[in-house]
Amino acid sequence: MKILHSADWHVGKKLENFSRIKEQTLVLGEICSIADSESVDAVVISGDLFDTYNPASEAIELFYRTVKQLTREGTRPVVAISGNHDSPDRIETADPLARECGIIFLGYPNSKTMPFKLESGLELSKTDEGFVEFNVPTANYPLRIITTPYANEFRLKQALNVQDKEADLRDILQNRWAQIANKYCDNKGVNILATHLFVVKRGQQAQEESDDERPILHVGGAQVVYADNFPPQVQYVALGHLHRKQIIASDIQPVVYSGSPLSYSFAETNQQKYVMIVEVKPGKKAEVLAVELKQGKGLLRLRADGMKEAEELLLSNQDKLIELTLKTDAYISAADRQHLNALHSGIVTLIPQLKTAASNQSNSKNIDIGKDFTSLFTDYFKHVNGLEPNPSILSLLNEVIADQKQNA
């Protein structure tokens, strides 16, 4: 049996004010093509389906269109769980209709869906809280998936009806997973687990979450889970949350972050993106193949000393989205900004860095409180930035002062 594992789509995500919906359309289409070319039997999406609790209509349409295509006319099950960016209720809203296409949406750790059988032969034969079992038309044995969508520690304990509020979350999850695995997961089928949590190998330092991954290790959040907390019957663990592809070492089963399909933060500069193709047979350890994604633009941080170098760097990196730090002796004028944007349409952030600012910041200066406000502002601005404010800044300051006097 072949399973495609992906996660962290963040459909509707913007980079600053830069829309990524066109790139997401291309890369999600690429994932559908990979699913077909690899003849996968099932698809698992491990959380952060959308970027916000209330995604835009174009993001919702793109997501549903993609998962419908992934089902291959209802012959291939698609299981999608919520992550910490998702609204669990929103994720589950479409479940009754989605089941008619072979799609399962699960929003909570204790979510339980209803069995069904489609004309294609795809059957959801067994369900329980946090568990589904499929009979897949293209396989001679069942696929079992233990599911634990994201929930903070309080809500997870509440969902699992844990009475001891001081109980260790890792122990709770380990016991819960073991109960389900002991009940349903024998070696006559394929057994996997999908969750959206922060997982590391015991004794290893945790990987840092990137700028765009909302930390889930905080007061009220879910604590780190160890790779050895997963039950031995599980042959593959499909993780979501971290945006970089990672295969966590385990003697029992591969524990894998597929990573996001696009780079969503400049902390992910030059990261190659993947989907995971998992080949697994009953009673055997899963084999994992990382398939490169080619659609979507990479992110690149550039530093230029002056306009000439900036122009050269921009012209040689036309296929990237750019964060440009520009060293300059003076402020970047509107004309300069327009010129740079004309050279490269993908400048997401332009950061001016005044060459004289650093030296001026170290020079202390006594404040003459007898000066008028505009003069004090000018002195402070020059002290911090190394240059006097330009006329447009002073004009804006005078407007603010005038408004304050009028409302006084």
pLDDT per position as a tens digit, 25-54: 999 999 999 999 999 999 999 999 999 999
pLDDT per position as a tens digit, 115-162: 999 999 999 999 999 999 999 999 999 999 999 999 888 888 888 888
For the four alpha carbons of 209, 257, 95 and 296, in that order, the dihedral sign comes to positive
% of the chain residues with pLDDT over 70: 89
- In the prediction, which pLDDT does 101 show? 94
Q: Residue 237 in contact with residue 252, Cβ under 8 Å?
A: no
Task: State the residue for tokens 């990196």.
Answer: 317
pLDDT per position as a tens digit, 252-273: 899 999 999 999 999 898 889 9
For the four alpha carbons of 336, 342, 343 and 346, in that order, the dihedral sign comes to positive
Structure tokens at 395: 């004009």
Q: Which CATH number fits domain 2-292: 3.30.870.10, 3.30.360.10, 3.60.21.10, 3.65.10.10?
A: 3.60.21.10
Q: How many CB atoms lie within 10 A of CB 7?
A: 30
- In the prediction, which pLDDT does 258 show? 97
Helix, strand, or coil (residue 222): coil
- In the prediction, which pLDDT does 367 show? 64
What per-residue string of b and e applies to 73-103 under the rule 16 or more CB within 10 Å gives b? ebebbbbbbbbbbbbbebbbebbeebbebbb
- CB neighbour list of residue 231: distance below 8 Å, 6 or more residues apart: 174, 177, 178, 180, 181, 182, 185, 193
Structure tokens at 379: 């002195």
pLDDT per position as a tens digit, 310-337: 999 999 999 999 999 998 877 788 888 8
pLDDT per position as a tens digit, 45-103: 999 999 999 999 999 999 999 999 999 999 999 999 999 999 999 999 998 899 999 99
Domain ranges of the chain: 2-292, 299-407
